[in-house]
Structures are given as structure tokens and as C-alpha cells.
Structure 1
Amino acid sequence: MLQRLVNLLRGSVCLEVEGAFPERFLNLCAQRGILFWRVEWLETTRLRVTVTRGGSRQALLLGDRVLCSVTPVGRKGLPYFLARFRRRYAFLVGLTLSALAVCILSAFILTIEVKGNVNVTTAEILTELRRQGLGVGAFGPALDERTIGNKVMLQLPELSWLSINLYGIRAEVLVREAVPAPEVADESQTGSIVATASGIIIKIDALSGDALVKPGDTVVAGETLISGTVRLESAPYSADPYMGSYQVRASGQVWARTWRTLTARIPLEAQVKAYTGEEYTRWIFTCFGRDTVFSGKGGISFDRYDKIRNTWNLTLPGGREMPLAVIRETCRAYQLETAPVDRTAAEELLQERLLTQLEELTGEGEIVSTSYSAVEREGMLEVTLRAECREEIGRFAPDPITQENEADP
């Protein structure tokens, strides 16, 4: 296979030798160092042999010495293929420019791939890389990958590790996101657990502090559930039943049955777009992130319009997009008109938003039952959600004295 490739690059000529002693022609070729192969006897006095392009001229001259006629019957290889275009100057110029473009463009970054990110978006990482000098069109040999990576990590504290690997025109960016440190409670800050909503206590687990309520009690929002003031009881024979108290940071969970009422409103009329039929189109060529308008350079005379962009990227056979694209930008003019809102759709929208808000309020709790009511009032549709829930209503509230001590420094 390798020998075939070599013969293809240097070229070969198929010769037909005819005479009384054609084998003497082969002996002379061997003596003169002319490479030949694929010897095929056609007749007793005629054979066909293949020689290299460089040795074909000398082989033709050897025919007279052995009284044989040597005739070229075929030529193959890259030199003969290119020779067909020696008078086609436009092709030669294009081939030269293509070769130069390949040699020059291979030193620039054309595509950037980001891998390993989940919470930090690819757009954020690419934007910061561009600020530090690594972007589409950057000169690869002049880039310091380690320095750029360190600067990007300083600007994006959400990343714990970043590596940049250059593969010709492609830059591969591997990242690892930082694991957030768990929230640690400040034990030096004392306080109590208070209720965030009114309800009936179902269960209470006091890890530290004194529980002031028990299952079945009714509480209101803001009421203390687990006190941070722990009272010390004295011995049974003591005259004073309490020996004093000390402050702790109360902690625990308090579950309760709650009833919540949420309301949302939406207007029954809305401004909608009515397209006038006027359009303005222009074509844009994008190269390495720079736009060049080559058709439709006039200004847009519409007061209100929608802009629609259709992009056609240059894509390689493997699916990799190159930083070359043609964009068609269409602007459609419109006017605002007042139109009635579909009441059923508006009511369903408000119900979904209220349910989402309720789920955020209850957190890990359970929504037992829900009911909705809708009413039209002053051109607005008002939807009310009433729900029964089982949720954790305890929230830590620091003591005022602790807050004052923290504020003194």
C-alpha cells in the first residue's frame, strides 16, 4: 500500500516494448538502475512494463540499442494530473491561495468547546475566555493556556478547575465546578424558633431549647415555638423551683396544619401586535464574530418591528460549526391593538402561577387540598387559591441582645 502511494506521488509510465529480444530491454533497465515493475508478456516479441516518471525518458532511449520499439501507452500519478492544469492559471492561483489559507488558518482558533459545566453556563465561560484573549480568531501559538485559565478562574469563583487544550484550530476547555460549602450555623448566636405561618401543631422536635407548644395547639405567625431560654430546675427540696436560665441557639422542626390564601390578578384586555405587511430584509456575512452587511444597508424606518434572524453556518462533515455564517435579517412592522384576553386561558395561567407560589412557600411540605375561585372586578380577573397544607413552620429568629452585640464592633 505504501509503495502504491509513493508511485502515485512521483508518477509512472506504462511502456510497450516490441522487438526480437525485448528481454534485453529489461536487462539494460536493470543495469542502468531504472525501476520497473508489472511486467506483462503480450506476445513472444512484445511485452508491457511500468517504469517511474523519472526513468521513462532514459528507458525510451534504450529501445534503439536493443533494436526494439518502445511506445508509451499510459501515464499515471500526481505530476501528470497537475500537468493538465498548467495552462489554467485561475485554477493554479486558487490552489495556491487554498494551500496558503490552510497553512495560515490552521494557526488560528476557529472553534471552542466547553465540557464539564452544569450550573455555570457555556456563554459565561466563553465570554470570560474572550476577555482574557481566547476567542474565535485568536492566534494559537501566542496563547498562554495556563495563564488564561488562572485568570478565568479568578473571575469565575464557581469554577474549581479549568484546563485549556489546543488541537490546531480547535480549543477544548475542560472545567470542574466548585462544590459549595455547607451552611454552618453560628452557635454563638442565640435565639428562638418562631412560626412563619398560623396553624395547628402536628409534630414538634426540639433539638435544643425549650418547646413552648405541643401537638394540637393553635399558633399564629410570629409566635415563639421553641424558646432559646432554657430554665434550670432546682432540686425538689429547694424553696425556689428554678435556679436560673441560660441562652442557647434553639433548633428543631415544627410541623403544622396550615390554611393559606393566595390571590393573583390579570387584566382582561391586552395589547397585541397587528402586522402591517411592511418588511425590511438585509443579508449579513459573519466571519470570526464580525458582521458585514452586503445587502440592504439602509436604515429601518418602522417605529415598532420584530426582528427575525435566519442563520446558515458553515458546518464540516463531522458536524463541527465554523465561525463563518450567512444571516438573513427580516424586520416586520406592526402596530399595537387592544384585544380581549381569553378568560379560560387567563384563569388557567393564574391557577398555575398560584400553585407554583404555594409549592415554594410549603417547600418539602404536603398540599392536602386546594380550591380556586375567580371573579371579574374593574376590568381585572382575580383568582384566589385556598389550600390546606402540612408544612414545617419553624424559623430561627436571633435574640435582640445577640444582634446588638454583633452590631457593636
Structure 2
Amino acid sequence: MKPSVLSRLRGSVTIVVRGEHLERLINELAKEGIEIWNVRALPERKMEMNVQLNDYFSLRPLLKRTGCRMSVKRRAGMPFIMLRLWRRKIFIVGFALFIAIIFALSSLVWDIEVQGNEKIPTEDVLMAAREEGIYPFQWIFRMQKQDKLSAELTRKLPGTSWVGVSRSGTRITIQVVEATRPKEQSLHSPSHLISSSDAIITNIYAERGQPEVKKHERVRKGQVLIAGIQGNSYVVAKGEIKGIVWHEYNIEVPLVRKQNVYTGEKKVRGYLYFGKTAVQITGYGSVQFAQFQTLSELDPLTWRSWKLPIGWMSEKLLETTEIQLKLSAKQAKEDGIERALRDIYAKHGVESKIVSQKILHEKSDNGKVYMKVLFEVEQDIAEELPIVHEQGE
């Protein structure tokens, strides 16, 4: 006979009965209506069987009547499980309290990030958000709907065209889109546009002022290109002038380059973190690496789409070593010229155009390549020069 699910919930006991009259005991159990199952004969006049917990306490008179004895081998069922849990009630209460704390922490606002603001101070945005109930340690369920928060913040923050509010876990992100305002024209003193270096003019366009040079004309540094004079008055000269400029670079490139690479050896440390506090759990011991690089990786607990402010942090210490890379003379030349080009673009703008380049001198000595390179660059050569005139002119 197999027990029902209800019988298992009520509890059962596995007993071992021994005696000379085991068959008589089975008959007595049947007369009394006591259910038994998993009956199995054992050596030395023993028998194993399962009985319900309620019937277990009715066995003693039958055992005494038949001259048998019993011992309990195993207990199973809900009553015994509850008894074991009750003995560990402190652990159960602690675990339930831990779950409750985690749920409470995940229901709070922990961080507020403001993005997109350039002219509006972050403090003003946070103050307006606090008035609408957005602040650290606020209950998330007490906050208004995001579309309503967005409308209220847009109304309270002058100079914004739209303010968006979004939530990712316990973080609130406030995205500010500032209203576009026409640029205020700053007051300038009358000025000329002069050449910033010796050059050959390739293009000149005068929007305001009097052009003083022409295309293909050679000019000197400091020479007036567009005069700040219009009619009988002084103006702020404005225009675009491009010209061919010569840049000479002395380049020095080593033929052996040092570089750090990973060896493959590593040491891993594990931390349990709560917010900004981390407690090391694994990976104790000193680091045996002479050189290493540290990489950290966070694995937060998640609930649905929320990232909780608690989780596991892995810290990998990767051993590095320094190797030497040998360059050919051709590779060293290309590397040196590339560095010079990057310098030109950084100083004179990415709109500059390299017209030509010529190596004037080249040699290899003491493990290095030395070069003198002349670049012809078409670039903007205009710069302002204030007009100083006597009062009353």
C-alpha cells in the first residue's frame, strides 16, 4: 500500500520490528485498521515498515500483546520538517529579516544622476527634483508617475525645453534638454585680420572689412590680410583666409619600443559589497607579481529589471611584463611621420590639408632613426589684431 499525499503531509515513521511473532503482529495491525506500507523482511526475525504518525502511538499495546519490539529508523513528513525549522527559528527569522531588508533597500532611491545640463546648475535641478519628491532614500512607490514628474520639472526649471525622468533599479536619471537661445553677440573692438605665419594665399573671402592681399600672393607673418576699415569707419574685420604654410619637424624614433603585456598569471579577489562598502571574502594573501594591472567587475543582485545596491565584486590582478618590440627603419619612419601629422592637426585644426611632405635629412644612429621633414599644409592663417587709434580720430 502506498501512502497518499495527505498522509505524507501528516507525517510518517519508518520502524523496524523484531520478535518471534511478526506474522501475528501483521494480523493485529489489519484488525485494528492501521495502514502499513513498504513492508520488507529483514534477517534475524526483523521487519521494516512505514506507518502514519497518528497510528504510531497505537502500536505499543499491539507490540506488547504479540511480544515484539520496535525501533524508529526514519521520520518523514511535514510535522518533522516544521519541528526542525522551529529548532532553527533564529536562523529562519534572520533569513526572513534579510529578505525584508533587501526588498526595502531595493524600494528606495539610492542615486540621482543629472545629465545634459550645461548652463543650468546641477544643484538647481536637484532642488527642483526634491520639491517633487525625488531625493535619496525616498520610497520609489511614493513617487509620482514619470510623465507628470517630467512636466513639473520642465515647468519649474526656466531655460529648459524638456526634462525627462527615468528609473533603472534604484537610480533615477534626470535628462535635461536646455532651450536653444540665440548666441549673444559679444562686443569687439575694431580689428584687422593678419597672417599668423609666412604663407602663400590660396583662398581669401572678406565678409567685413577691406581685403589687402590677393590669391597666390606671398605674405609675411603679421601682415594685414583684411583691414578693419569700411568706408570712413573702423569695423571688426571678418572673413576666411587660407594659405600654404611650411612646417619643419625634427623627428626622432627609437627602433626598439617597450610595451607592457599580460603573462596569463592572475590572482582573483572576491568582495561582497553593500552600496559603496565592500568586504573581502576570498583571495587573501600577498601579491607575488612585480607588475600587475587591476580589473574590477561588479555583479549586482537583480530583482526583475532592478539592480540592487548589493552584490559580488570580482577583482582580477593580472600580471604584466615588459617586452621590447623591434621596428624596422621603414616602420620607424612611418611612425614618426604619423606623430608629426597628428601634431599638425592638433595645433592647426582637423580641417587643415597636407599638400606635400618631403624628407630633407635621414639617418640611423644609436638605435634611433633621425629625420628632418618639411610639410606643406593648407590651413587657416587669419588672426585678429585690435586697431589702436587715438581718441578723437
**Shorter-chain TM-score: which interval?**
0.5 to 0.7
2:369 aligned with 1:381, yes or no? yes
Per-residue Cα deviation, 1:301-320 (whole angstroms, up to 9, x for no partner): 655432233443434554x5
Counterpart for residue 398 of structure 1: 386
Shift of 1:86: 4.3
SS of 1:397's equivalent in the other structure is: strand
One-letter code aligned to 1:204: I
One-letter code aligned to 1:140: Q
Distance of 1:399 and 1:369 partners within structure 2: 36
Counterpart for residue 329 of structure 1: 315
| 1:357–1:293 CA distance, 2 compared to 1 (3 A) | same
RMSD over aligned Cα, in angstroms?
Answer: 5.0
Counterpart for residue 295 of structure 1: 282
SS of 2:216's equivalent in the other structure is: coil
Conserved in 1, the CA contact under 8 Å of 2:195 and 2:382?
yes
2:201 aligned with 1:201, yes or no? yes
Unaligned runs of 5+ in 1: 1-81, 233-244, 405-409
Shift of 1:333: 5.1
Distance of 1:118 and 1:389 partners within structure 2: 38
One-letter code aligned to 1:381: V
SS of 1:203's equivalent in the other structure is: strand
Counterpart for residue 327 of structure 2: 342
| 1:312–1:363 CA distance, 2 compared to 1 (3 A) | closer
One-letter code aligned to 1:392: D
Shift of 1:296: 3.6
Conserved in 1, the CA contact under 8 Å of 2:211 and 2:226?
yes
Counterpart for residue 226 of structure 1: 226
Distance of 2:238 and 2:278 partners within structure 1: 60
Shift of 1:250: 1.9
Q: 2:341 aligns with which of 355, 361, 378?
A: 355
Distance of 2:218 and 2:349 partners within structure 1: 18
Distance of 2:202 and 2:160 partners within structure 1: 43
Shift of 1:197: 3.0
Aligned positions, number? 289
Counterpart for residue 50 of structure 1: none
Distance of 2:264 and 2:374 partners within structure 1: 47
Distance of 1:392 and 1:110 partners within structure 2: 51
Distance of 2:247 and 2:169 partners within structure 1: 61
One-letter code aligned to 1:104: A
| 1:212–1:300 CA distance, 2 compared to 1 (3 A) | same
Higher mean alpha-carbon deviation, 382-391 vs 289-298, is at 382-391
TM-score if structure 2 supplies the norm length?
0.54
Distance of 1:203 and 1:260 partners within structure 2: 19
Unaligned runs of 5+ in 2: 1-77
Shift of 1:177: 5.0
Distance of 1:83 and 1:347 partners within structure 2: 84
Counterpart for residue 215 of structure 1: 215
| 1:167–1:382 CA distance, 2 compared to 1 (3 A) | closer
SS of 2:339's equivalent in the other structure is: helix
TM-score if structure 1 supplies the norm length?
0.53
Higher mean alpha-carbon deviation, 247-256 vs 163-172, is at 163-172
Counterpart for residue 309 of structure 1: 296
